[in-house]
Homo-oligomer: A and B are copies of this chain.
Amino acid sequence: MKVIVGKDLLSANAGQAGENRVLFNNNRVTVINLISAPGSGKTALLEKTAELLRGKLKLGVVVGDLYTTRDAERIERAGVTVVQINTEGVCHLTADMVARALQEVSLDQLNLLFIENVGNLVCPVSFDLGEHAKVALLSVTEGSDKPAKYPGIFREAVATVISKVDLLPYTDFDLPACLEEIQKINSDQQVFITSARTGQDLSHWCAWLEQLAAGKAKGNNLASR
Protein backbone atom coordinates (compact mmCIF):
# COMPACT_ATOMS: atom_id res chain seq x y z
CA MET A 1 0.00 0.00 0.00
CA LYS A 2 1.12 3.55 -0.68
CA VAL A 3 2.05 6.23 1.77
CA ILE A 4 -0.31 8.90 3.03
CA VAL A 5 1.07 12.29 2.06
CA GLY A 6 -0.99 15.15 3.37
CA LYS A 7 -0.17 18.47 4.93
CA ASP A 8 0.05 16.94 8.42
CA LEU A 9 2.42 14.29 7.23
CA LEU A 10 4.65 16.80 5.51
CA SER A 11 4.83 18.99 8.60
CA ALA A 12 5.63 15.96 10.77
CA ASN A 13 8.36 15.14 8.23
CA ALA A 14 9.69 18.69 8.43
CA GLY A 15 9.97 18.37 12.22
CA GLN A 16 12.05 15.21 11.99
CA ALA A 17 14.11 16.71 9.15
CA GLY A 18 14.98 19.62 11.43
CA GLU A 19 16.17 17.19 14.09
CA ASN A 20 18.27 15.32 11.54
CA ARG A 21 19.83 18.62 10.43
CA VAL A 22 20.79 19.54 13.99
CA LEU A 23 22.42 16.14 14.33
CA PHE A 24 24.33 16.63 11.08
CA ASN A 25 25.46 20.11 12.08
CA ASN A 26 26.52 19.00 15.56
CA ASN A 27 28.69 16.35 13.92
CA ARG A 28 29.98 18.75 11.24
CA VAL A 29 28.98 16.38 8.48
CA THR A 30 27.72 17.76 5.16
CA VAL A 31 24.74 15.87 3.81
CA ILE A 32 23.57 15.56 0.21
CA ASN A 33 20.20 14.15 -0.87
CA LEU A 34 20.82 12.58 -4.29
CA ILE A 35 17.69 12.39 -6.44
CA SER A 36 17.07 11.01 -9.92
CA ALA A 37 14.90 8.72 -12.00
CA PRO A 38 15.56 4.97 -11.75
CA GLY A 39 18.72 4.00 -13.60
CA SER A 40 20.27 7.45 -13.99
CA GLY A 41 23.44 6.21 -12.36
CA LYS A 42 23.26 7.35 -8.73
CA THR A 43 25.05 4.26 -7.48
CA ALA A 44 27.69 4.35 -10.22
CA LEU A 45 28.38 8.01 -9.40
CA LEU A 46 28.77 7.19 -5.70
CA GLU A 47 31.10 4.25 -6.44
CA LYS A 48 33.39 6.51 -8.48
CA THR A 49 33.10 9.38 -6.02
CA ALA A 50 34.14 7.08 -3.17
CA GLU A 51 37.22 6.02 -5.16
CA LEU A 52 38.23 9.57 -6.02
CA LEU A 53 37.70 10.99 -2.53
CA ARG A 54 39.47 8.16 -0.73
CA GLY A 55 41.98 9.67 1.69
CA LYS A 56 40.49 13.15 1.22
CA LEU A 57 37.03 12.97 2.80
CA LYS A 58 35.44 10.38 5.05
CA LEU A 59 32.32 9.35 3.17
CA GLY A 60 29.14 7.63 4.26
CA VAL A 61 26.08 6.61 2.27
CA VAL A 62 22.49 5.95 3.24
CA VAL A 63 20.83 4.08 0.37
CA GLY A 64 17.08 4.05 -0.17
CA ASP A 65 15.50 1.30 -2.22
CA LEU A 66 12.00 -0.11 -2.49
CA TYR A 67 13.41 -3.60 -2.18
CA THR A 68 16.80 -5.37 -2.57
CA THR A 69 20.19 -4.38 -1.16
CA ARG A 70 22.02 -4.33 -4.50
CA ASP A 71 22.99 -0.68 -4.49
CA ALA A 72 24.24 -0.85 -0.91
CA GLU A 73 26.35 -3.89 -1.76
CA ARG A 74 27.89 -2.11 -4.75
CA ILE A 75 28.80 0.96 -2.71
CA GLU A 76 30.12 -1.13 0.16
CA ARG A 77 32.56 -2.78 -2.25
CA ALA A 78 33.93 0.73 -2.88
CA GLY A 79 34.98 0.75 0.78
CA VAL A 80 32.38 3.14 2.16
CA THR A 81 30.17 2.90 5.25
CA VAL A 82 26.68 2.13 3.94
CA VAL A 83 23.29 1.82 5.60
CA GLN A 84 20.41 0.44 3.56
CA ILE A 85 16.81 1.59 3.94
CA ASN A 86 14.20 -0.62 2.32
CA THR A 87 11.03 1.41 1.93
CA GLU A 88 8.97 -1.71 1.14
CA GLY A 89 7.30 -0.05 -1.80
CA VAL A 90 7.16 3.55 -0.58
CA CYS A 91 8.22 5.85 -3.41
CA HIS A 92 10.55 8.18 -1.49
CA LEU A 93 12.57 8.41 1.70
CA THR A 94 11.21 10.28 4.70
CA ALA A 95 13.12 12.09 7.45
CA ASP A 96 11.93 9.43 9.86
CA MET A 97 13.39 6.57 7.81
CA VAL A 98 16.67 8.47 7.62
CA ALA A 99 16.65 9.11 11.39
CA ARG A 100 16.38 5.38 11.99
CA ALA A 101 19.22 4.68 9.54
CA LEU A 102 21.41 7.27 11.29
CA GLN A 103 21.41 5.12 14.43
CA GLU A 104 23.67 2.76 12.47
CA VAL A 105 26.13 5.48 11.38
CA SER A 106 29.00 7.01 13.35
CA LEU A 107 28.36 10.53 12.10
CA ASP A 108 31.25 12.00 14.07
CA GLN A 109 33.61 9.97 11.89
CA LEU A 110 32.30 11.34 8.59
CA ASN A 111 32.84 14.52 6.57
CA LEU A 112 30.27 13.89 3.89
CA LEU A 113 27.11 11.80 3.88
CA PHE A 114 25.16 10.98 0.74
CA ILE A 115 21.54 9.95 0.97
CA GLU A 116 20.78 8.04 -2.23
CA ASN A 117 17.02 8.43 -2.55
CA VAL A 118 14.60 5.99 -4.18
CA GLY A 119 14.76 6.20 -7.98
CA ASN A 120 11.95 8.67 -8.63
CA LEU A 121 12.17 12.13 -10.15
CA VAL A 122 8.95 13.40 -8.55
CA CYS A 123 8.03 12.33 -5.02
CA PRO A 124 11.39 12.54 -3.17
CA VAL A 125 11.58 16.28 -3.92
CA SER A 126 8.77 17.06 -1.45
CA PHE A 127 10.41 15.35 1.52
CA ASP A 128 13.11 17.24 3.37
CA LEU A 129 15.42 14.69 4.99
CA GLY A 130 17.47 17.24 6.89
CA GLU A 131 20.09 17.38 4.14
CA HIS A 132 22.10 20.51 3.43
CA ALA A 133 21.72 20.26 -0.32
CA LYS A 134 19.83 18.32 -2.95
CA VAL A 135 21.70 17.17 -6.04
CA ALA A 136 19.88 16.04 -9.18
CA LEU A 137 21.19 13.40 -11.54
CA LEU A 138 20.04 13.18 -15.16
CA SER A 139 21.40 10.69 -17.68
CA VAL A 140 21.63 11.72 -21.31
CA THR A 141 19.64 8.65 -22.35
CA GLU A 142 16.57 10.07 -20.57
CA GLY A 143 16.28 12.98 -22.99
CA SER A 144 17.03 16.68 -22.81
CA ASP A 145 13.34 17.55 -22.22
CA LYS A 146 13.38 16.24 -18.65
CA PRO A 147 14.21 19.47 -16.73
CA ALA A 148 11.15 21.20 -18.23
CA LYS A 149 8.96 18.17 -17.60
CA TYR A 150 10.15 17.56 -14.04
CA PRO A 151 11.13 21.06 -12.89
CA GLY A 152 10.70 20.46 -9.15
CA ILE A 153 14.00 18.73 -8.52
CA PHE A 154 15.96 21.07 -10.82
CA ARG A 155 14.51 24.07 -9.00
CA GLU A 156 15.60 22.75 -5.59
CA ALA A 157 18.94 21.21 -6.48
CA VAL A 158 22.15 23.15 -5.85
CA ALA A 159 23.81 21.03 -8.52
CA THR A 160 22.85 18.80 -11.42
CA VAL A 161 25.06 15.94 -12.50
CA ILE A 162 24.44 15.04 -16.13
CA SER A 163 25.52 11.42 -16.38
CA LYS A 164 26.38 8.83 -19.04
CA VAL A 165 27.75 11.43 -21.47
CA ASP A 166 29.85 8.63 -23.00
CA LEU A 167 26.51 7.64 -24.62
CA LEU A 168 25.91 11.11 -26.05
CA PRO A 169 26.97 10.19 -29.62
CA TYR A 170 24.31 7.45 -29.73
CA THR A 171 21.39 9.57 -28.50
CA ASP A 172 19.57 12.69 -29.71
CA PHE A 173 20.13 14.40 -26.35
CA ASP A 174 20.51 18.13 -27.00
CA LEU A 175 23.07 19.19 -24.40
CA PRO A 176 22.98 22.97 -25.03
CA ALA A 177 19.16 22.94 -24.94
CA CYS A 178 19.20 20.96 -21.70
CA LEU A 179 21.71 23.29 -20.07
CA GLU A 180 19.63 26.28 -21.13
CA GLU A 181 16.52 24.67 -19.66
CA ILE A 182 18.26 24.00 -16.33
CA GLN A 183 19.58 27.56 -16.33
CA LYS A 184 16.03 28.86 -16.93
CA ILE A 185 14.63 26.87 -14.00
CA ASN A 186 17.48 27.63 -11.61
CA SER A 187 20.34 29.83 -12.69
CA ASP A 188 22.17 29.51 -9.37
CA GLN A 189 23.23 25.94 -9.95
CA GLN A 190 26.39 23.97 -10.63
CA VAL A 191 26.22 21.56 -13.55
CA PHE A 192 28.65 18.70 -14.06
CA ILE A 193 28.73 16.89 -17.38
CA THR A 194 29.99 13.47 -16.40
CA SER A 195 30.53 9.86 -17.23
CA ALA A 196 31.13 7.33 -14.46
CA ARG A 197 32.50 5.01 -17.14
CA THR A 198 35.16 7.33 -18.60
CA GLY A 199 35.59 9.50 -15.50
CA GLN A 200 34.75 12.69 -17.43
CA ASP A 201 34.32 15.77 -15.19
CA LEU A 202 34.36 13.69 -12.00
CA SER A 203 37.42 15.56 -10.77
CA HIS A 204 35.43 18.82 -10.86
CA TRP A 205 32.52 17.12 -9.14
CA CYS A 206 34.79 15.82 -6.40
CA ALA A 207 36.55 19.19 -6.00
CA TRP A 208 33.12 20.78 -5.60
CA LEU A 209 32.20 18.17 -2.97
CA GLU A 210 35.39 18.96 -1.07
CA GLN A 211 34.51 22.66 -1.13
CA LEU A 212 30.95 21.85 -0.03
CA ALA A 213 32.20 19.72 2.85
CA ALA A 214 34.46 22.62 3.81
CA GLY A 215 31.38 24.84 3.81
CA LYS A 216 32.70 26.97 0.98
CA ALA A 217 30.82 25.95 -2.14
CA LYS A 218 28.60 28.50 -3.77
CA GLY A 219 24.91 27.77 -3.75
CA ASN A 220 25.09 25.60 -0.66
CA ASN A 221 22.93 27.63 1.68
CA LEU A 222 24.16 25.78 4.70
CA ALA A 223 23.85 28.81 6.94
CA SER A 224 20.30 29.64 5.99
CA ARG A 225 18.85 26.19 6.55
Contacts from A to B (Cβ < 8 Å)? 1-7, 10, 37-39, 65-68, 70, 89, 91, 118-123, 126, 139, 141-143, 145-146, 148-152, 164, 166-167, 170-171
Pair B123/A2 contact, Cβ less than 8 Å: yes
How many identical subunits does the complex contain? 2
Q: How far does the Cβ of A63 sit from chain B's closest Cβ, in whole Å?
A: 11
Query: Which B residue sits closest to A65, measured CB to CB?
Result: B149
- Which residues of chain B have C-beta atoms less than 8 A from A146's C-beta? 38-39
Contacting A39 at CB < 8 Å: which of B2, B37, B148, B151? B37
Pair B121/A38 contact, Cβ less than 8 Å: yes
Q: How far does the Cβ of A128 sit from chain B's closest Cβ, in whole Å?
A: 13
Contacting A123 at CB < 8 Å: which of B70, B91, B142? B91
Q: How far does the Cβ of A45 sit from chain B's closest Cβ, in whole Å?
A: 13
Contacting A66 at CB < 8 Å: which of B119, B120, B150, B170? B150
Pair B149/A67 contact, Cβ less than 8 Å: yes
Pair B67/A148 contact, Cβ less than 8 Å: yes
Pair A119/B150 contact, Cβ less than 8 Å: yes
Name, among A121, A122, A151, A170, the residue most crowded by chain B CB atoms within 10 Å (CB to CB). A122
- Which residues of chain B have C-beta atoms less than 8 A from A141's C-beta? 39, 139, 141, 164, 167
- Which residues of chain B have C-beta atoms less than 8 A from A166's C-beta? 170
Knowing A39-B141, A66-B122, A145-B70 are in contact, say whether A5-B2 is a contact too (CB < 8 A): yes
- Which residues of chain B have C-beta atoms less than 8 A from A148's C-beta? 67-68, 70
Q: How far does the Cβ of A17 sit from chain B's closest Cβ, in whole Å?
A: 15
- Give me 19 other A-B pairs in contact (C-beta within 8 A), A37-B119, A119-B150 excluded: A1-B7, A1-B10, A2-B123, A4-B6, A38-B150, A39-B139, A39-B142, A66-B151, A66-B152, A67-B151, A68-B149, A70-B148, A70-B149, A89-B122, A91-B120, A119-B121, A141-B141, A167-B171, A170-B170
